[in-house]
Amino acid sequence: MRVKEFLLRIGVRKHTLRDYFLVIVGASVQAFGMRLFLIPAQLVSGGVSGAAQIIHFFSGFPIGLLVIIGNIPLYLIGWRHLGGLKFALRTLFAVLVFSLLTDLLPYVLPTQSITHDILLNTLYGAVLLGAGLGLVYLGRGTSGGSDILGRILNYRFGFSISAAYMLTDSLVVLASGFAFGWEKALYGLIVIYMSGLVAEMASEGSSVVRTALVITEKPDEIAAEVMEELERGVTYLYGKGAYTGNDRTILYCVVSRPEVSIIKGIISEIDPEAFVVIGQANEALGEGFRPLLKK
C-alpha cells in the first residue's frame, strides 16, 4: 500500500501534513530567534513568551514551561474564538513545539550570545520571530498568547486585530522595562513592529484586512466550513458566466490577515478547481471587526 493511500485511509490529508510541517518549522524558527538573539540580549517580544522571560529573570523558572502554563487559561477562554477544532489543535501544537525547543535548545546551542550588539540582536531576533510566526500562520495555526488575547479583545470589545495585538504586546514589553531597563524595553517595541512586518510578508502581505471572492461548484460546502472554522460571515452573490452563459454562485467573505492562508486551505481541500480572488480592504467595520460607530 502506498503511503498516500495509507494516510487517506486513516483520515490524514496531504494538506494536514503540510500544515503541521509548516507549524513545526515556524515554531522552531521562533524558538531559535528567541534563544539566539532575544533571550541572551534580554529583549522581550511581548505576549506570553515575553511575560515568561520576565518571570524567568526573577525566578529562574524555565521559559518554555512558563509559556505552556501561561497559555492554558488563555487557551481555555479563547477556544471558541480560535476558529474551530482544527485551528485550535494546530495552535496547541505550535505552542508545545515552541515551548519545548525554547527549553531544550540551550543544551545544543552555544551558551554565549552570538553578538553583544543590541541592535543586531533586535533586528535578527525580530526577523526570525516574524518569519516563524508567518510560517505558523501559513500552517493555519497561531502561536497562542497574544493571538488568543487579540481575538478575545476583537470579539468582545471591537478592537481591530492589529490594535489588539499591539496593545497586549506593548504592555508586556513596557513591563520588561522594570526588569531589564527602559532602553531594552524600547528596543523591544522595535522587535514587535519588525516581527509583525516580517510575519505579514511571510504569510500573506502587508494588509490587515482582506476580501475573498470565490467562484466554485461547491459554494454551500465552502461557506459552511468557513463559517464553522473561522466564524466569519459569508455572502452569496449570484452572477452569470459571460462565455458559458451558466448561472454561478459567488462567495464573498472578509477575513483578517492571518486567516487568508486558512481560507485558501479550506477552499483547496473542498474544491481545488475553484477560482479565488483575494483583495485588499483599507478598513472593515461591523461584526468581527471594528464596530460601526455613529457620528
Query: Terminal CA-to-CA distance of the chain, rounded, Å?
Result: 65
| pTM for the predicted model, two decimal places | 0.68
pLDDT at 102 over 80: yes
Q: Are residues 32 and 162 in the same domain?
A: yes
- Domain that residue 232 falls in: 209-281
DSSP-derived 3-state class of residue 284: coil
Report the pLDDT value the prediction gives residue 251, as an integer from 0 to 100.
93
Q: Are residues 243 and 196 in the same domain?
A: no
Domain ends where: 184, 203, 222?
203
The string of pLDDT tens digits covering residues 158-185 is: 666 556 667 778 788 888 888 898 899 9
Asked whether residue 291 is domain-assigned, the answer is: no
Domain ends where: 149, 168, 203?
203
Measured distance CA(241)–CA(250) in Å, rounded: 11
The string of pLDDT tens digits covering residues 41-67 is: 999 988 888 899 999 999 889 999 999
pLDDT at 3 over 60: no
Q: Are residues 16 and 151 in the same domain?
A: yes
The string of pLDDT tens digits covering residues 277-294 is: 998 876 777 776 767 654
With beta carbons less than 8 A apart as the criterion, state whether 199 and 131 touch. Answer: yes
Asked whether residue 294 is domain-assigned, the answer is: no
Domain ends where: 203, 232, 251?
203
With beta carbons less than 8 A apart as the criterion, state whether 285 and 263 touch. Answer: no
Q: Are residues 226 and 171 in the same domain?
A: no
With beta carbons less than 8 A apart as the criterion, state whether 232 and 259 touch. Answer: yes
Q: Are residues 150 and 265 in the same domain?
A: no
Q: Are residues 124 and 231 in the same domain?
A: no
